[in-house]
């Protein structure tokens, strides 16, 4: 029995795979099922009427197959074809709705109960998604999903590695999309396209980042996600705690909080920070809100006041007497060359910056938290190890005087005023108001400053405790209160910016290995490398080992360099998306500029009208000496 001749459609270039001719459009028929064009002359069964031609089904969809014999099909496939025919026969649906229903039926989404409107909304939401852009262009022809370990054939089509190997094991040495022959070497040992792997991975990461899920790379550590202790990262340049990052902040008080850390600001222990608590490292003082600066000894702002100081024996002029001490200001030392400390003083100190902050606390009578360090070897009140919180003090006086090293230093008298007893005493109660000590060095001092008004933090005789007599200064820390709609808008802006940056990263990944620019007419070699078509042609121009393709009749054919159309489509979509974003930003800036220009023109018109009114008032004057009245008519009686 003679086998029937095979039936083949047109390829991507519009050439019939059977007769190798390019038929005109009127000599082709398009299948209503798979939208594949076919050459009418090469069909074994030609539609007889115009209506049958409009409902033409190709041999692959109707069951004739490539051999002319009906392909075996199970009941589910027959039922699928019947349901597709029902959709095509429904005259109440438009062509767009028919296409959507066919897609919904083939993907199985109709079983989940999603309607056309819901699918349309999801499509609009995913229109600008980078992963959806890749999904539209890169699809494995076998599983219809994003290629997993993508393999690119010489004809420029992409497949999953597993699907490709399964297809090759079945003895099918042709591309499933264009049916071009696949080289024997690639069929045996395919290569994964690393460029597509990086692009798909980056797109998946962008979706996980913009959807609010956990970020995989470059994740920002929020306070609740930080460890309980200070930690070092790979970026640390020095060992130990020199470059340590802060651990979790345990208290809820703002950074510019004055006074003790109370129990209401300690949600975990509900006791606050008690006098006498010690920590090994200075970073732990920050975690409990006692002193936030990692190096500086005075914490505060010049216009606002100082909240805390650390006594670490940095200056020889310091005097520590426990319940009161004389503290030396900051500055006067050369810290150039990235120095953290310097024992030698090289210039005078002034009441600026943090020195002025302590001076403001003196004027206002604010409480200042005091931390003593083991580094102060001259003080008998220093802790044996680490850092110790010794309660709050109040700055009573401040002045300037020549220091031990010959330069002027700022000096402050701080007196303890805490409700808890000091760590070095066995008292059961806190401090009582005491007289100020006699300071002998005030005779040589200048720029002496004292408090002229009643202090904000003072002793209450009725309650027998230290408390705020005046309201504490309001915090300058910004508290962001955003409406739900504003929060959603900000999320959209952030998501848009992330998408733009991700598009730029993807475009950088699609660079030619020769010119290092974004690929123009990309080509994928059998070894899975990507180049621009002009760059690759120029690289091999004039070389004799190029293989020439010759037809059977002796006619020379062009060299086989198939452009990767799917990759080129993705690059064009990403470039169009970036251009649209840039145009949108330019239009917004233009609108803002027009508004500003219109406002300035309105102001100019107002000023012009006012000047004109003044001139008109001058014309109405009766002064004969005015040059504007030269043409005024003269009275006949005069």
Q: Please list the alpha-helical segments (H only) found in 90-183.
A: 95-107, 116-125, 130-137, 161-169
Q: Is residue 298 within 8 Å of 309, Cβ to Cβ?
A: yes
Give pLDDT tens digits for 342-355: 778 888 999 999 99
Helix (H, G, I), strand (E, B) or coil at 616: helix
pLDDT confidence bin for 467, thresholds 50/70/90 = very high
Which of 616, 608, 529 lies closest to 567, judged by CA? 529
CA 46 to chain centre: 59
What pLDDT, on the 0 to 100 scale, is given for residue 513?
81
Q: Is residue 261 within 8 Å of 251, Cβ to Cβ?
A: yes
Give pLDDT tens digits for 183-241: 888 888 788 877 777 777 777 766 655 444 444 333 344 566 677 777 776 666 666 66
What pLDDT, on the 0 to 100 scale, is given for residue 367?
97
Q: What is the 3-state secondary structure (H, E, C) of 384-450?
A: CCCEEEEEEEEEEEEEEEECCCCCEEEEEEEEECCCCCCCCCCCCCCCCCCCCCCCHHHHHCEEEEE
Is residue 258 predicted with pLDDT exceeding 80? yes
Q: Would residue 309 count as lying in a domain?
A: yes
Q: Would residue 495 count as lying in a domain?
A: no
In angstroms, the Cα distances linking 172 to 67, 165, 203 are 15, 10, 32
Residue 289 CB coordination number (10 Å): 23
Q: Is residue 503 within 8 Å of 496, Cβ to Cβ?
A: no
Angle between helices 565-619 and 130-137 (to 10 degrees): 140
What pLDDT, on the 0 to 100 scale, is given for residue 418?
96
Give pLDDT tens digits for 73-84: 444 555 677 788
What pLDDT, on the 0 to 100 scale, is given for residue 480?
52
Give pLDDT tens digits for 373-421: 998 888 889 998 899 999 999 999 999 999 888 899 999 999 999 999 9
Position with higher pLDDT, 554 vs 297: 297
Is residue 66 predicted with pLDDT exceeding 50? no
- Mean pLDDT of the 12-36 span: 83
Q: Please list the alpha-helical segments (H only) found in 211-307.
A: 282-287
What pLDDT, on the 0 to 100 scale, is given for residue 68?
41
pTM: 0.45
pLDDT confidence bin for 371, thresholds 50/70/90 = very high
Is residue 296 predicted with pLDDT exceeding 80? yes
Residue 540 CB coordination number (10 Å): 11
Q: Which two tokens stand for residue 418?
A: 């805490």
Give pLDDT tens digits for 112-127: 444 444 545 454 444 4
- For residue 635, what are the contacts with CB-CB under 8 A and spacing of at least 6? none
Q: Among 138-142, 388-392, 474-478, 489-493, where is mean pLDDT lowest?
A: 489-493
- Spell 561-587 as b/e; 16+ CB within 10 A means b: ebbbebbbebbebbeebeeebeeeeee
Q: Would residue 365 count as lying in a domain?
A: yes
Position with higher pLDDT, 456 vs 120: 456
pLDDT confidence bin for 603, thresholds 50/70/90 = low
Q: Which two tokens stand for residue 536?
A: 């690759």
**H or E segment and range at residue 29:** strand 28-30
Residue 106 CB coordination number (10 Å): 13
What pLDDT, on the 0 to 100 scale, is given for residue 208?
56
- Mean pLDDT of the 235-255 span: 77
pLDDT confidence bin for 72, thresholds 50/70/90 = very low
Q: Is residue 358 within 8 Å of 395, Cβ to Cβ?
A: yes
pLDDT confidence bin for 177, thresholds 50/70/90 = confident
Count of structural domains within the chain: 1
What pLDDT, on the 0 to 100 scale, is given for residue 589?
59
pLDDT confidence bin for 611, thresholds 50/70/90 = very low
Q: What is the average pLDDT value for the chain, to the nearest integer?
A: 76
What pLDDT, on the 0 to 100 scale, is given for residue 94?
82
- For residue 146, what are the contacts with CB-CB under 8 A and spacing of at least 6? 131, 134, 135, 138, 139, 140, 200
What pLDDT, on the 0 to 100 scale, is given for residue 119?
46
The conformation of residue 356, written as its DSSP 8-state character, comes to H
Q: Would residue 442 count as lying in a domain?
A: yes
**H or E segment and range at residue 200:** helix 194-210
Q: What is the chain's length?
A: 638
Q: Please, how many CA atoms are within 13 Å of residue 389, restricted to the half-sphere of its CB?
A: 25
Q: Would residue 635 count as lying in a domain?
A: no
Instruction: Residue 289: give the domain boundaries.
Output: 284-333+344-468
Is residue 61 predicted with pLDDT exceeding 80? no
Which one of 66-70, 277-281, 510-514, 608-612 scores highest in mean pLDDT? Answer: 277-281
The CATH number that applies at residue 316 is 2.30.280.10
Q: Would residue 571 count as lying in a domain?
A: no
Q: Would residue 502 count as lying in a domain?
A: no
Give pLDDT tens digits for 500-551: 566 676 777 778 888 888 888 888 777 778 888 888 888 877 665 445 555 5
Q: Is residue 467 within 8 Å of 262, Cβ to Cβ?
A: no
Q: Please list the alpha-helical segments (H only) found in 543-624.
A: 565-619
pLDDT confidence bin for 623, thresholds 50/70/90 = very low
pLDDT confidence bin for 486, thresholds 50/70/90 = low
Backbone angles phi, psi at 443, to 5 degrees: -70, -30
Is residue 42 predicted with pLDDT exceeding 60? yes
Q: Would residue 253 count as lying in a domain?
A: no
Q: Please list the alpha-helical segments (H only) found in 44-183.
A: 50-54, 59-62, 75-89, 95-107, 116-125, 130-137, 161-169
Q: Which two tokens stand for residue 544?
A: 């004799």
> Whole-angstrom Cα distance, residue 124 to residue 285?
51
> Whole-angstrom Cα distance, residue 438 to residue 551?
112
> Whole-angstrom Cα distance, residue 304 to residue 327?
19
The conformation of residue 140, written as its DSSP 8-state character, comes to -
Q: Is residue 358 within 8 Å of 300, Cβ to Cβ?
A: yes
């Amino acid at each position: 029995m003679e086998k029937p001749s095979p039936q083949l459609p047109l390829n991507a270039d519009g050439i019939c795979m059977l007769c190798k001719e390019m038929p005109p459009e009127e000599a082709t028929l398009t299948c209503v099922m798979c939208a594949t064009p076919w050459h009418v002359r090469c069909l074994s069964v030609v539609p007889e009427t115009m209506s049958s031609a409009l409902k033409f089904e190709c041999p692959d969809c109707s069951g004739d197959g490539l051999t002319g014999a009906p392909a075996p099909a199970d009941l589910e496939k027959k039922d699928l074809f019947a349901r597709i025919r029902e959709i095509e026969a429904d005259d109440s649906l438009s062509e767009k709705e028919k296409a959507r229903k066919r897609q919904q039926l083939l993907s199985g989404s109709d079983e989940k109960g999603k309607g056309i409107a819901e699918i349309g909304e999801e499509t609009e939401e995913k229109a600008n998604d980078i992963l959806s852009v890749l999904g539209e262009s890169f699809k494995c022809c076998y599983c219809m999903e994003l290629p997993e370990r993508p393999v690119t054939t010489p004809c420029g089509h992409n497949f999953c590695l597993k699907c490709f190997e399964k297809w090759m094991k079945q003895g099918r040495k042709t591309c499933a999309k264009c049916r071009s022959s696949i080289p024997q070497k690639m069929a045996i040992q395919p290569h994964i396209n690393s460029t597509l792997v990086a692009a798909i991975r980056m797109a998946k990461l962008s979706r996980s980042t913009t959807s609010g899920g956990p970020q995989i790379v470059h994740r920002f550590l929020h306070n609740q996600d930080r460890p309980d202790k200070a930690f070092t990262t790979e970026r640390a340049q020095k060992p130990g705690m020199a470059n340590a990052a802060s651990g979790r902040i345990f208290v809820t008080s703002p950074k510019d909080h004055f006074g003790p850390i109370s129990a209401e600001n300690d949600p975990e222990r509900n006791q606050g920070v008690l006098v006498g608590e010690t920590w090994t490292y200075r970073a732990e003082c920050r975690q409990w809100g006692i002193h936030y600066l990692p190096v500086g000894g005075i914490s505060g702002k010049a216009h606002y006041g100082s909240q805390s100081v650390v006594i670490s024996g940095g200056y020889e002029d310091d005097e520590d007497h426990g319940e009161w001490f004389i503290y030396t200001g900051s500055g006067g030392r050369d810290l150039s060359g990235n120095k953290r400390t310097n024992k030698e003083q090289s210039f005078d100190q002034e009441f600026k910056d943090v020195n002025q902050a302590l001076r403001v606390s003196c004027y206002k009578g604010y409480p200042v938290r005091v931390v003593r360090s083991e580094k102060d070897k001259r003080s008998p009140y220093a802790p044996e190890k680490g850092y110790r919180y010794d309660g709050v003090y109040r700055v009573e006086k401040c002045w300037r005087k020549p220091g031990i090293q010959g330069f002027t230093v700022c000096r402050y008298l701080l007196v303890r005023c805490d409700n808890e007893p000091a760590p070095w005493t066995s008292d059961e109660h806190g401090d009582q108001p005491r007289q100020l000590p006699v300071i002998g060095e005030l005779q040589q001092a200048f720029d002496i400053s004292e408090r002229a008004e009643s202090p904000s933090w003072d002793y209450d005789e009725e309650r027998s405790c230290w408390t705020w007599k005046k309201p504490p200064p309001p915090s300058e820390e910004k508290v962001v209160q955003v409406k739900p709609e504003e929060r959603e808008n900000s999320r959209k802006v952030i998501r848009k910016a992330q998408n733009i940056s991700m598009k730029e990263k993807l475009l950088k990944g699609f660079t030619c290995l020769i010119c290092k620019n974004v690929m123009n007419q990309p080509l994928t070699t059998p070894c899975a490398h990507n180049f621009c078509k002009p760059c690759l042609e120029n690289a091999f121009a004039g070389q004799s080992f190029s293989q020439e393709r010759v037809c059977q009749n002796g006619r020379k054919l062009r060299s086989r360099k198939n452009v990767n159309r799917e990759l080129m489509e993705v690059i064009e979509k990403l470039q169009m998306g970036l251009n649209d974003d840039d145009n949108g930003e330019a239009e917004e800036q233009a609108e803002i500029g027009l508004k500003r220009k219109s406002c300035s023109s309105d102001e100019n018109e107002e000023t012009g009208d006012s000047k004109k009114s003044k001139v008109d008032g001058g014309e109405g004057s009766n002064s004969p000496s005015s040059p504007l009245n030269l043409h005024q008519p003269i009275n006949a009686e005069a």
